[in-house]
Chains A and B, each alone.
Chain A
């Protein structure tokens, strides 16, 4: 029976209460450990298509008669369009249509950042469209520009009300603490720079709009486009079979989709609107900069008695005020915690979710602060973390938490400190650092899947979700194969088209496997039940003695062993159709992911160069479906995190607010030459309270602790306290000088007074 429930839904650390209908899901979880297919390494189902260049991305779609759109963007960080004249553009060769601010959603009359979209042109070629856009005449009224986040907070220029949290009595606890440490930590703005830029191709067929788009959320695009264009949702079809990276930046349609849809309508032809790389760097979203003013107090036995944090998120013109304070509230058992988080509204490009937004930044500040505390207390950093282990989330039990096991597995990596130190020389200092990880990743309903089983004994999972490159097709095929008792190569997955499958969740917030996996398993179980019913009747046996194993329907006594195709083959061309839905998350529990990184670095104390030499990443995300794909996720997160920590920074002109780093030579992402040795370990214990699968998400956790672990390793190597990301050579040399001065002061104070 369908059951109506009220439940809490979480995506990227943001919660909302929603009504959902859940169908009964009586499936027991599978036992722990590798099964026949689930829990065993599987190469990607779509590996060959991708590697051979056969996979069709939005960028590869070339419809007959397709036009190309270009977008005019504001050169000013804050300005109003007084007058706009499209006529000069419309007269140019190849131009078919033009639209300006005010005509469609997404094109704005008040540009709040340099790069804000204000007009667009469709032409036969992209070069013609760009030339036409340059010919559009705009009269701008320039407005005051605010770029400094502290100034914005002082003036009350905020994205939302300051978010305040308090438990216990922080001031009293700090006053009574044996040791108090404080510090200001700053993180920079970084860019997703997915290799496929944001783009859409729109085509009208009758009154239905077909949207081919590089997206993480097919159904969110369908709804947003239908809303914006005032269409019924089933008049919008959204297709995304393959997409070239998103990392959180491709959850919404944005101007390029609306531009393509409207220009396609006006011209009666398909229209592509694709951002250039340079537009990608100015207008497609970012991980916002933060300022974190933190204090912590502890007793001499290592009990942390208070955390106090003031966080400012430089959100920009649009975006949201992510939970930078989250780790401080949740990672440790601390009675007294007070945080306030400001979202500064600035004339800078928009914040968008970027792989664990808020927690990446907040973990850097918190876990560096905890290491400073450990140094002051003269307690081993791993031991200090253990002494302050949180056994609940501020009173709410965890659905599962194996961070202690992660710490245990971290020990051999942590104990390498002595041998790592011994490899230091006069120039290269070596050290080891660690940091813990906490983040969401439990997924949630609704999500649906169908399973089709043909008379050839082969199954197809059908669901209108997207595979953003994380290996969704493979994980879903593994889950269905496990439940159906079929070999993996007999299961295909069809996804990527809202017209060809049921609703599926967003692929963000590490939610794909935990949201979709249980629905796929339920659909496979429904199909399997039907196969067993047919076999029972055909062979005059009771269903309860039957099972499917390795593609054969078998009886408990071993007398029956009939290939699935023989059983389903009775039906000729008929098919078995199973359907499944994602059940609710456990009520009254916090579903979170945990982990720890132990990092080894080498620091050149003469030039400030930092090299990450080894990363041990240990994560607890419930059951692992595909250990091979999971290790790829961890390596990818660690590497992206190393870029965030050491080399990546979007720079703005402090006078004008224009982005200075608009190309991939200026914006420096890691290459293969920057990669350390990476060791991945998983606790791999199903979360017994979470769904029929017990799996949490893994896309985001591995990027969360890396920056703090690197900074803590630098302190271990050199004694220098790094407080800012990226740890450029300049920042490294500053921290080294500061550490030297501190040491000199200490020597002076410690020396006997001159007589």
Chain B
């Protein structure tokens, strides 16, 4: 066990977890933030995406003890206009990848509020959706400001 100080969605946490624990595991098992999903647990699918200082990161392959910045999970983005946009556009089927999609999309629109289709495809290509909601995700991001 090793002490860990983590800022998540604006809140400070001091935890004791073994060195080598992933950020995704800490968020889900220690902090109960289960909106962050683990689907491959090896950094290939994007379901576990969180932001660290506003940049999308794969929390399943990020060691918790290496995190220095502020972590934002889907729980910290629940009031983001993208949530409405995703629901309106039906950019959700089984929903397992969706929190990760929203986290990636929120980082994109924060940096680039009016992304083109090409920019959306570039920024979102790391988030796999097996149900194939991609056209609706693209539409949701294009129309996120309502």
Contact = CB atoms under 8 A, between A and B. Distances in A.
Nearest to A680: B135
Contacts of A678: 135
A44 B94 contact: no
Contacts of A632: 90, 93, 131, 133, 136
Nearest to B35: A53
Contacts of A242: 94-95
Contact of B90 (A43, A53, A196, A669): A43
Interface string A460-481: 0000000011110000000000
Contacts of B38: 59
Nearest to B21: A127
From A247, A277, A632, A637, name the one whose CB has the most chain B CB atoms within 10 angstroms.
Answer: A632
A636 B127 CA distance: 15
Contacts of B97: 195
Contacts of B75: 52-53
Nearest to A126: B25
A671 B133 CA distance: 10
A193 B87 contact: no
A126 to B, nearest CB: 9
Given A195-B97, A665-B44, A245 B134 contact: no
Contacts of B47: 195
B51 interface: no
B66 to A, nearest CB: 19
B32 to A, nearest CB: 8
Contact of B87 (A47, A197, A243): A47
A52 B78 contact: yes
A755 B36 CA distance: 78
Contact of A195 (B91, B92, B128): B128
From B32, B39, B45, B74, name the one whose CB has the most chain A CB atoms within 10 angstroms.
Answer: B39
A664 B96 contact: no
Contacts of B83: 48, 51-52
Nearest to B83: A51
Interface string B26-60: 00110010111111111011010000000000000
A195 B39 contact: yes
Contacts of A195: 37, 39, 45, 47, 94, 96-97, 128-130
B83 to A, nearest CB: 5
Given A51-B102, A672-B137, A629 B34 contact: no
Interface string A674-714: 01001000000000000000000000000000000000000
B90 A636 contact: no
A669 B120 CA distance: 18
B94 A245 contact: yes
Interface in A21-78: 43-44, 46-57, 59-60, 62
Contacts of B111: none
Nearest to B123: A672
B98 A672 contact: no
B86 interface: yes
A656 B64 CA distance: 38
B40 A664 contact: yes
Interface string A214-252: 000000000000000000000000000011110100000
Contact of B132 (A49, A194, A637): A637
B45 to A, nearest CB: 5
B133 A636 contact: yes
A193 B29 CA distance: 24
Interface string B113-146: 0000000111011111111111111100000000
Interface in A179-234: 192-197
From B44, B73, B137, name the one whose CB has the most chain A CB atoms within 10 angstroms.
Answer: B44
Contacts of A51: 83, 86-87, 91-92, 95, 98-99, 102
Contact of A277 (B40, B78, B120, B126): B40
Given A52-B74, A193-B130, A629-B90, A672 B95 contact: no
B59 to A, nearest CB: 13
A255 interface: no
A55 B35 CA distance: 8
B103 to A, nearest CB: 9
B65 interface: no
B94 A664 contact: no
A276 B41 CA distance: 8
Given A44-B87, A664-B44, A670 B96 contact: no
Interface in A352-392: none
A687 B136 CA distance: 29
Given A44-B90, A277-B39, A57 B133 contact: no
A470 B128 contact: no
Given A48-B83, A632-B136, A637-B132, A673 B122 contact: yes
A59 B73 CA distance: 17
A628 interface: yes
B28 to A, nearest CB: 8
A677 B112 CA distance: 24
A327 B133 CA distance: 28
A471 B90 CA distance: 10
A52 B99 contact: yes
Given A671-B125, A672-B134, A469 B93 contact: yes
A242 B37 CA distance: 13
Contact of B131 (A44, A245, A277): A245
B39 A54 contact: no
Contacts of A638: 132
B131 A469 contact: yes
Nearest to A247: B130
A50 B102 CA distance: 11
A260 interface: no
Contacts of A52: 35, 74-75, 78, 83, 99
A640 B132 contact: yes
B86 to A, nearest CB: 5
B113 to A, nearest CB: 19
Contacts of A602: none
B131 A636 contact: yes
Contacts of A675: 132, 134-135, 138
A194 B95 contact: no
B78 to A, nearest CB: 5
Contact of A57 (B44, B45, B96): B96
A470 to B, nearest CB: 7
A56 B124 contact: no
A368 B19 CA distance: 56
B88 to A, nearest CB: 6
A55 B95 contact: yes
Contacts of B34: 53, 56, 59-60, 62
B98 A50 contact: yes
Contact of A635 (B42, B45, B133): B133
Contacts of B28: 60
A663 interface: yes
A244 B95 contact: yes
A243 B92 CA distance: 13
Given A52-B35, A277-B39, A43 B134 contact: no
A631 B98 CA distance: 18
B24 to A, nearest CB: 12
A68 to B, nearest CB: 10
Contacts of B86: 47, 51
Closest 10 pairs (CB-CB, A-B): A53-B35, A469-B94, A50-B95, A244-B96, A639-B132, A636-B132, A47-B87, A664-B44, A53-B99, A53-B74
7 contacts: A43-B88, A52-B99, A631-B90, A632-B93, A632-B136, A671-B128, A672-B124
Interface of B: 28-29, 32, 34-42, 44-45, 47, 73-75, 78, 83, 86-88, 90-99, 102, 120-122, 124-138
Interface of A: 43-44, 46-57, 59-60, 62, 192-197, 242-245, 247, 276-277, 468-471, 628-629, 631-632, 635-640, 663-665, 669-673, 675, 678
